Amino acid sequence: TQGQVITCKAAVAWEPNKPLTIEDVQVAPPQAGEVRVQILYTALCHTDAYTWGGKDPEGLFPCILGHEAAGIVESVGEGVTNVKPGDHVIPCYQAECGECKTCKSGKTNLCGKVRSATGVGVMLNDGKSRFSINGKPIYHFMGTSTFSQYTVVHDVSVAKIDPIAPLDKVCLLGCGVSTGLGAVWNTAKVEPGTIVAIFGLGTVGLAVGEGAKAAGASRIIGIDIDSKKFDIAKNFGVTEFINPKEHEKPIQQVIIDRTDGGVDYSFECIGNVSVMRAALECCHKGWGTSVIVGVAASGQEISTRPFQLVSGRVWKGTAFGGFKSRSQVPWLVDKYLKKEIKVDEYITHTLTLSEINKAFDLLHEGGCLRCVLST
Ligand code: NAD
Ligand code: AHE
Ligand code: ZN
Ligand code: ZN
């Protein structure tokens, strides 16, 4: 198949909120600096639902969504040296070239090499898509487009992993689990003995719980409007639960009252701007740090009284948990293989790519953390 167009099945999102359809899609061969990957397993993350729902200002249609996956390199374009056909890989929506200004800064995991192209659904080389249906181009998404049996990614957007790792599990390290762990370890740098609050106990929030436990936090307070999440969360290090619906006072006040003035660290893992405000305001004055992980809909803005920051609270955000993707995803996979981090426990459902609409429905049910699709 090397050098040839591959026709395969992919789930195409034609317009916001319209069910995806499984189509025969033509996937062009990788050009210079590109890698064609056979996707074997892909999970759904809330961000896929967000873009499908028309809430993403960068959302373009028709497109192939999906960014939490694992597969095997089918072929590589000219000049690609970091992977070869047969390598087991995880696509990385947050690239790492190691050479651009942001990669070299040592201050961030954001990479600027291909972001301008991935933000508009195309490849950097020629500004075009590698996906088409009977000649009509279909946009890429997040530089990954994993809801397809084959995809083309930039070489800086693919991490080579240990081939013994089960791809149906480690696909989760392509986004949600890594993001939650990294938010704690890299962005907040939670210390032992501290109090942590987590808003939203989906996969990302639970991974924050796992990360906070590993970092030695003494109290980990989980906040969710779905009480079914509480039992699950205990297995991920959460020690206390609050359902805001059961309180008349604002949730930030409830937390401040229970923590002698507020928490040391809080994490917003929902994408709701009023909750982001509560997450900041439940932090202890003088040092409390709040990390925004959730992705808010187009047009939404955050607000608080500036006094909240003047009096020492810190507001931060994180993308992919601050992990440098190509260098650190293989490290996360190794940690999973050594049983130092959970992954299997986040998988509540498995389906096939053809059942993807059912998987989107499941995302909105409290009982579903991650649904892994086999392609
Ligand atoms: P999810 O839908 O599985 O989890 C969200 C949880 O929040 C659910 O348990 C839900 O009951 C709860 N919730 C909803 N509204 C609430 C409210 N008002 N108060 C309290 N709890 C509430 O989603 P997920 O896959 O875990 O993703 C979480 C968020 O993180 C999404 O916004 C996603 O887009 C974002 N995300 C960001 C990054 C990043 O790099 N920054 C990476 C992955 C995901
Ligand atoms: N396109 C949206 C923002 C989406 C967003 O913030 N994405 C996160 C990853 S979410 C993964 O589930 C991210 O990494 N952002 C940094 C980046 O470079 O995209 C918008 O608002 O335009
Ligand atoms: Zn995601
Ligand atoms: Zn870079």
Report pLDDT digits (tens) over 16-44.
999 999 999 999 999 999 999 999 999 99
Q: What is the pLDDT of residue 241?
A: 97
Residue-wise pLDDT for 89-112, tens only, equals: 999 999 999 999 999 999 999 999
User: Do 179 and 102 contact (CB within 8 A), yes or no?
Assistant: no
What percent of the chain stands above pLDDT 90? 98
**Element holding 133 (H helix, E strand):** strand 131-133
Q: What is the pLDDT of residue 365?
A: 82
Q: How far is the CA of 122 from the centre of ligand 4 (A)?
A: 18
Q: How far is the CA of 201 from the centre of ligand 1 (A)?
A: 7
- Residue 367 predicted with pLDDT over 90: no
The single-letter DSSP state of residue 126 is: T
Residue-wise pLDDT for 198-246, tens only, equals: 999 999 999 999 999 999 999 999 999 999 999 999 999 999 999 999 9
Whether the pTM exceeds 0.90: the reply is yes
Give the Cα separation of 98 and 110 in Å (integer): 10
Q: How far is the CA of 197 from the centre of ligand 4 (A)?
A: 32
Give the Cα separation of 369 and 92 in Å (integer): 21
Q: In this structure, which residue's CA is closest to atom 16 in ligand 2?
A: 319
Ligand 1 pocket, 325 CB below 6 A? no
Residue to substitute in 47, 145, 270 for testing ligand 2 pocket (most ligand atoms within 8 angstroms of CB): 47
Active-site entry in 23, 42, 63, 67: 67
3-state secondary structure of 57: coil
Give the Cα separation of 309 and 302 in Å (integer): 13
Q: In what order do the strands lie in the sheet with 289-292?
A: 240-242, 219-223, 195-199, 265-268, 289-292, 314-317
Q: Which of 173, 187, 161 is nearest to 87 (CA)?
A: 161
ipTM of the complex: 0.99
Report the nearest atom of ligand 1 relative to the CA of 295.
Answer: 32
Residue-wise pLDDT for 275-287, tens only, equals: 999 999 999 999 9
Residues facing residue 125 across a β-bridge? none
Phi and psi at residue 118, to the nearest 5°? -65, -25
Average pLDDT over residues 117-132: 98
